[in-house]
Amino acid sequence: MIAEANCPARFWLGPELIVAFKDPQHVEKILASSKFSHKHDIYEFLKCFLGEGLITSSGPKYKPHKKVIQPIFNLNFSKDCVPVFEKHIKTCVEHLDACVGSDHFNIGHFIHSCTADIIGEILFGYSFKAQQKQSTDYMTAFVDIYKVAFERLVKPWLHPDWTFGISSSGKRHKQICDLSLELMRKVMDELKKRKNILLCKSSSDDSFPTPVIDKVARIWEDNSELFDSHDLWFHMITLYMASQDTIALIVSATCLCLGMYPDYQERVVQEIDNVFGNCRAVAVEDIGKLAYLDMCVKDVFRLFPIAPYILRKTVADQQIDKLVLPKGCGIIIPIYNVHKDPRYWTNPEDFHPDHFLPEVEERRPSCTYIPFSAGPRGCIGKIFANVSVKVMLVHLLRQFEIEAAGKMPDVRCTMDISVRALRGYNVKIRRRVAK
């Protein structure tokens, strides 16, 4: 955790200089400039899982790869995915029905399995059937990627390959890589089958969206000099890890927060009823009308940032205001601290949707809230994540009243690659009665 002293603050990790920035003006200059877009060497520990994907890459591949992949994730793509959301959320609701009236349980387990099925189908065209307790090896491996990578990151003695290789984390790392290759073969086989089916049909089945891997594979075939099959797979794993974990975490955390603050929950439900009524299907066009739900989700993103820190590295001497950063200097932006800076947040430790009232947002500097980063390395899945989270929450809140003990300051959080509730997302649910 970065100390609350005035930034910029410098410290040393062995022989390496690190400078931390949390002032919004400095943060904006860093994120907006391509001069500070080079990822820190620490991301090398993720490359064994994610390769030269959009999260880890800083070399010549990054810009051209992002340029061809980013257009896929537009608003129309999110709109086309709604039938997939609804199919799997229906199953999630059926499983949650068994918990109605029971004691507190971790709703995060149900949400995690549901989002795994959703994202697996949307990205890979592959059915994990996680909600039917299948593909458990893959599901566990995806969770353990964060644990293994973070453990290696914070334990310097695991940085050398030889010490990491003989450690328990190193052995788990090898198991995860083997499972990833096994999944790659299955997904690529399914891709070939879909291509063969399409060749035999005059038109494709438009009832569900074309999986993202099919679209990226066509780009690969048309631009074989741009990236190879390994790049294709690493991009897909990166997209899966970034989207599935983000959506599951934020939906689970929002359920927890609304359960702890029933007045906010009732305002959200009233808004949902006003927009959709009791039975009308969820339309992406109407998601923008859910202003209060949007405020609640934004404050959850503030409290549970997907990446608590951004780490960059200078590749030449650079200047920020009067401060000169030498070549090779590490730069850290502590998003977790930026999102709780009392200079800009009325109730920094609490769940407080009014932080995002329009008139309050206008008074706040732009880079006081950066859940999806910003600038050249901003997240390409921002629209998709926002739509996914809200569609899931609309369905869940239509069906269930959620109750949780305590208030947000009582929730202890832990960090790996993301910020999570240490003891899970424990709630009680009741069937919602239409008023």
**Which residues are known binding-site members for heme?**
379
Torsion of CA 409, 411, 415, 420, to 10 degrees: -120
Fill in the DSSP letter of residue 324. E
Known binding positions: 379
Percentages of the chain per state (helix, strand, coil), in multiples of 5: 60, 10, 30
Phi/psi of residue 51, each to 5°?
Answer: 55, -145
Cα gap 21→8, rounded to integer Å: 5
Distance CA 373, CA 173 (A): 28
- How far apart CA 181 and CA 179 sit, in angstroms, is 5
Q: Which run of H or of E encompasses 197? A: helix 168-200
Name the 3-class secondary structure at 51: coil
d(CA 205, CA 194): 11
Q: Tell which residue, 297, 302, 310, has the closest CA to residue 413.
A: 302
> Which pair of tokens denotes residue 432?
């919602």
Judge whether 152 and 45 are in contact, CB under 8 Å: yes
Contact 180, 145 (CB under 8 A): no
Q: Say if CB 87 and CB 212 are below 8 A apart.
A: no
> Is-contact 311 421, C-beta < 8 A?
no
